[in-house]
């Protein structure tokens, strides 16, 4: 592994940080060997590690949750490739600043030094603004590294995305976070080692678990805990919980997490797992989701995945939504929970869904077919003379309230769109259909 290049004429980006900086900033890794986590990218032989070692860094996007090392990796790449690292925030800076950076990068290139433009929260740029990077990425004036917590497939301009490699960073494991915590406690220069602070084993476990894969959150809480216990003190579970305060559910109301959680809810209901359904709904509620979103998806699921296997499912889902409107939170969450348990444990059938799909396909293939003459209304004399309604058989004239006759157009005679499933109420429907088929066969046989 090559050693990081250092330029004597300029202070290193990774020179010892000031003690006035937050602990998370002071403990930022100075080398790849110090970097914890993301083994799928940085272990020997992995794609990103190999690119860094060879110095063949192109423009790229780091996609992952907060506190997983996106900015740190950008800085390390700049250091290992002896490039100028220029941080840029899509929240506070705009396209005019990009032009300034590109001008400075062009001057640097004349002296043989590359520029890495690190754009934090690149998804905050709209697609037109992202176009400002394109010519400079293509010409090699800058190496663009974008960091985002949002799915770049949806948030990054396709033309720009096609010119960049996407590396997915994962939330740190509890083991990773334990290593981060212990390193900060032991380091006497950048961390808390000189203060002789210790942490109870159970407190360390709680801190690692409840930091939810976010190293920055773990170090921030550790620093707050250290301030609370003072030099030479021991951090306890109560200290950690006080420092962590409220844990916020990983969720957003419009981005990928929103759709991922909705998908998880729907699939848990379809898969007959009431525990998982309750959990994903709770995650959305804790994340600030509008409960109507949960009700809408559940109502759709009742029609798509349960259907007439249990006709009560759709009624109960609609009733639960109405009950929520009457009660409001938190009492309204009770009918929501009742609905989720009922839908998850109801017999499943997508026969209505499949029947509709088949009927729609037939309708597209035969858009001009008219109804058989016998089932057309004949409100005028002319229509009667033309044969409208002729031969129609009134079902209630039979003791069984069923008289065989044709209802489909000629081209679709004999078509079957609905096939009942084997569970719940559809078993009764299947028996009824078989009985009617028998009556129809006898009628055809004379």
Which has more confidence, 246 or 280? Answer: 280
pLDDT attached to residue 377: 87
Give pLDDT tens digits for 29-75: 999 899 999 999 999 889 888 888 888 888 999 998 888 999 999 99
Compute the C-alpha angle 296/300/306, nearest 5°. Answer: 140
Tell me the C-alpha distance between 247 and 149, whole Å.
Answer: 18
Rounded average pLDDT over 377-402: 87
pLDDT attached to residue 39: 93
Contact 269, 278 (CB under 8 A): no
Q: Which CATH number fits domain 256-345: 1.20.5.510, 3.40.50.450, 3.40.630.30, 1.20.272.10?
A: 1.20.272.10
The CATH number of domain 372-444 is 1.25.40? no
pLDDT attached to residue 343: 96
Average pLDDT of every residue of the chain:
87
Q: Which CATH number fits domain 174-244: 1.10.150.670, 3.40.50.300, 1.10.8.60, 3.40.50.280?
A: 1.10.8.60
Give pLDDT tens digits for 174-214: 999 999 999 999 999 999 999 999 999 999 999 999 888 89
* Domain spans, the chain: 31-168, 174-244, 256-345, 372-444
Report whether pLDDT(6) > 70. Answer: no
Give pLDDT tens digits for 204-249: 999 999 888 899 999 999 999 999 999 999 999 999 988 887 544 4
The percentage of the chain sitting over the pLDDT mark of 70, rounded to a whole number, equals: 93
Which has more confidence, 14 or 129? Answer: 129
Tell me the C-alpha distance between 176 and 38, whole Å.
Answer: 10
* Model pTM above 0.95: no
Report, at the CATH architecture level, how domain 31-168 is classified.
3-Layer(aba) Sandwich (3.40)
Q: Where are the alpha helices (DSSP H) in 81-200?
A: 95-110, 127-130, 134-139, 152-155, 158-161, 174-186
């Amino acid at each position: 592994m090559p050693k990081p290049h250092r330029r004597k004429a300029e202070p290193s980006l990774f020179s010892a940080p000031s003690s006035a900086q937050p602990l998370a900033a002071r403990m930022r890794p100075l080398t790849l060997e110090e970097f914890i986590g993301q083994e799928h990218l940085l272990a020997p032989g992995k794609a990103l590690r190999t690119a860094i070692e060879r110095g063949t860094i192109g423009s790229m996007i780091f996609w992952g949750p907060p506190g997983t090392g996106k900015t740190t990796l950008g800085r390390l790449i700049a250091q290992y490739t002896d490039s100028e690292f220029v941080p840029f925030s899509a929240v506070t800076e705009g396209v005019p600043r990009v032009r300034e950076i590109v001008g400075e990068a062009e001057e640097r290139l004349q002296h043989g030094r590359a520029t890495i433009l690190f754009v934090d929260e690149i998804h905050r740029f709209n697609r037109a603004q992202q176009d400002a990077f394109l010519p400079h990425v293509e010409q090699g004036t800058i190496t663009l590294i974008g960091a985002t917590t949002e799915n770049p497939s949806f948030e990054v301009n396709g033309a720009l995305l096609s010119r960049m490699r996407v590396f997915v960073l994962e939330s740190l494991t509890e083991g990773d976070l334990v290593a981060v915590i212990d390193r900060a406690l032991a380091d006497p220069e950048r961390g808390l080692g000189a203060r002789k602070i210790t942490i109870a084993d159970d407190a360390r476990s709680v801190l690692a678990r409840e930091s939810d894969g976010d190293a920055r959150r773990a170090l921030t809480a550790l620093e707050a805990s250290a301030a609370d216990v003072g030099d030479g003190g021991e951090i306890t579970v109560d200290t950690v919980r006080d420092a962590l305060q409220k844990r916020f559910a990983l969720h957003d109301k419009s981005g990928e997490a929103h759709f991922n959680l909705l998908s998880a809810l729907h699939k848990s209901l379809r898969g007959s797992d009431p525990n998982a359904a309750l959990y994903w709904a709770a995650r959305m509620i804790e994340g600030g989701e509008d409960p109507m979103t949960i009700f809408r998806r559940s109502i759709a699921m009742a029609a798509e995945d349960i259907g007439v296997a249990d006709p009560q499912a759709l009624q109960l889902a609609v009733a639960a939504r109405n009950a929520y409107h009457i009660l409001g939170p938190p009492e309204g969450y009770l009918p929501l929970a009742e609905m989720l348990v009922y839908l998850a444990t109801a017999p499943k059938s997508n026969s209505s869904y499949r029947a509709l799909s088949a009927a729609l396909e037939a309708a597209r293939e035969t858009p001009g077919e008219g109804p058989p003459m016998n089932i057309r209304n004949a409100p005028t004399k002319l229509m009667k003379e033309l044969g409208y309604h002729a031969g129609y058989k009134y079902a209630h004239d039979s003791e069984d309230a069923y008289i065989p006759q044709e209802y489909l157009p000629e081209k679709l005679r004999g078509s079957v769109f609905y096939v009942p499933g084997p569970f719940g109420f559809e078993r009764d429907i299947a028996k009824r259909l078989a009985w009617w088929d028998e009556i129809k066969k006898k009628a055809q046989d004379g």
